[in-house]
């Protein structure tokens, strides 16, 4: 390792702060010391904090210990080539977003394609122009700064989400406790009892929504983790259908189940319960009075299919992808007879974390058929 002009600055990449160019660290990876000194001389006036690694293994060790702001990487080095170094960087989450500019004397198209496939951001052929090299570095620093600012905004959003979830739970707990006390009053009129039951159900729905918001935020930041166990899926679906019978009866809807006995699967039962509850809530919301909603379960040699069918207005073909998108669905309108909110996007997150997918199709002769498709075995790796 060699440092030009001044010591390396302390790590700052994770702070999200925009540093002046003279404080940004540039790592030059090249086995030819003359080439290194030439490159350093070309950029030192604007980027004086420069490090040097003479081989790929040393470069990776330095990058992991203290990630630089931009990497200038020679492709043709003995031992570990620049292609291999670049692939290692892109496959290591903590450093995968570092800007990499590859340098090579080979200017053929195949080398360019291979470098880009390995994960390079920029490609410069030797001999290098100092004006061009400094401009490319400035571009990489600007992109890097924008990425770090986005990461900081996402982290701030996560903190706000956790605060809101915590603040919501306290009043919901009070509401639930008050409903329990009212439910113990044997002298309450039937009307009061019905109202108490509705309040309790509303509070339970809000609790589920709060959980979904938290889990969705975790999924978007890559932290939603399924805890798979061997589960009786038949019993799970039947239990959920039983929980929704009272709500279906109030809407004068017949809720039935077509569930074969003892279908087992390796999955996260809590996440899957929330997914199926969302689909049933959606079906009961749009199904007209006097119709039937059917929950079914089918298994073949490779996959499981959990379906919820209703006789509502259905989902137009052009809207079927939109309703599973977090932001597009949030901008939809109930007046369009489309599901809104995070319920269906959450279902897609749950299906995908299990290695599956959720889709919607027409339910003949009318309505919507939502299907969660899951592999029989929980995906590994």
- Mean pLDDT in runs of 10 for the chain (381 residues)? 42 45 86 93 93 95 94 92 94 91 83 89 88 92 86 75 71 82 84 84 76 63 72 94 90 94 89 91 92 94 93 88 66 49 81 91 92 82 49
Structure tokens at 310: 């209703």
| Angle of the 190-220 helix axis to the 269-286 helix axis, nearest 10 | 120
Question: Hey, what are 64's tokens?
Answer: 């992991």
**pLDDT score at 60:** 95
SS3 310: coil
- 304 CB contacts (<8 Å, ≥6 apart)? 233, 263, 265, 297, 298, 373, 374, 375, 376
**Structure token digits, residue 318:** 């052009």
Distance from the Cα of residue 5 to its chain's centroid:
42
CA 303 remoteness from chain centre:
24
Q: Which pLDDT score, from 0 to 100, does residue 8 have?
A: 37
25 CB neighbour count, 10 Å cutoff: 23
What pLDDT, on a 0 to 100 scale, did the predictor assign at position 215?
66
Structure confidence at residue 332 (pLDDT): 46
DSSP state for residue 221 in the 8-state scheme:
T
- The 3-state secondary structure of 323-338 reads HHCHHHHHCCCHHHCC
- State how far the Cα of 175 lies from the Cα of 206, in Å rounded to an integer: 11
What was the pLDDT predicted at 46? 92
Please indicate, yes or no, whether the overall pTM of this predicted structure exceeds 0.85: no
Residue 301 carries which DSSP code?
A: S
């Amino acid at each position: 390792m060699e440092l030009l002009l001044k010591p390396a600055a302390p790590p700052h990449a994770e702070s999200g702060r925009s540093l002046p160019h003279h404080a940004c660290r540039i790592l030059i990876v090249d086995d030819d010391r003359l080439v290194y000194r030439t490159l350093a001389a070309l950029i030192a006036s604007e980027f004086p904090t420069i490090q040097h690694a003479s081989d790929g293994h040393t470069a990776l060790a330095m990058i992991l210990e203290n990630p630089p702001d931009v990497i200038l990487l020679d492709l043709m080095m003995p031992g570990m080539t620049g292609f291999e170094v670049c692939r290692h960087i892109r496959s290591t989450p903590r450093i995968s977003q570092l800007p990499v500019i590859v340098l090579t004397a080979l200017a053929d198209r195949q080398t360019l394609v291979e470098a880009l496939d390995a994960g390079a951001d920029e490609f410069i052929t030797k001999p290098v122009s100092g004006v061009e090299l400094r401009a490319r570095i400035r571009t990489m620093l600007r992109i890097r700064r924008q990425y770090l600012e986005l990461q900081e905004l996402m982290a701030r959003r996560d903190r706000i989400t956790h605060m809101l979830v915590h603040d919501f739970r306290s009043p919901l707990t009070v509401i639930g406790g008050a409903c329990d006390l009212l439910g113990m009053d044997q002298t309450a009129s039937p009307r009061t009892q019905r109202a108490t039951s509705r309040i309790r159900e509303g509070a339970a729905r809000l609790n589920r929504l709060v959980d979904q918001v938290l889990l969705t935020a975790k999924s978007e930041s890559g932290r939603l983790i399924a805890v798979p166990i061997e589960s009786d899926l038949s019993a799970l679906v039947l239990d959920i259908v039983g929980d929704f019978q009272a709500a279906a009866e109030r809407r004068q809807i017949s809720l039935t189940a077509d569930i074969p006995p003892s279908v087992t699967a390796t999955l996260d039962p809590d996440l899957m319960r929330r997914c199926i509850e969302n689909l049933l809530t959606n079906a009961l919301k749009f199904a007209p009075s006097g119709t039937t909603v059917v929950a079914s379960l089918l298994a073949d040699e490779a996959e499981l299919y959990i379906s919820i069918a209703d006789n509502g207005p259905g989902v137009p073909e052009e809207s079927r992808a939109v309703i599973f998108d977090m932001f597009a669905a949030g901008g939809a309108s109930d007046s369009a007879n489309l599901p809104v909110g995070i319920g269906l996007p959450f279902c897609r997150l749950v299906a995908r974390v299990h290695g599956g997918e959720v889709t919607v199709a027409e339910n003949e002769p009318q309505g919507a058929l939502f299907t969660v498709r899951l592999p029989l075995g929980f995906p590994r790796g």
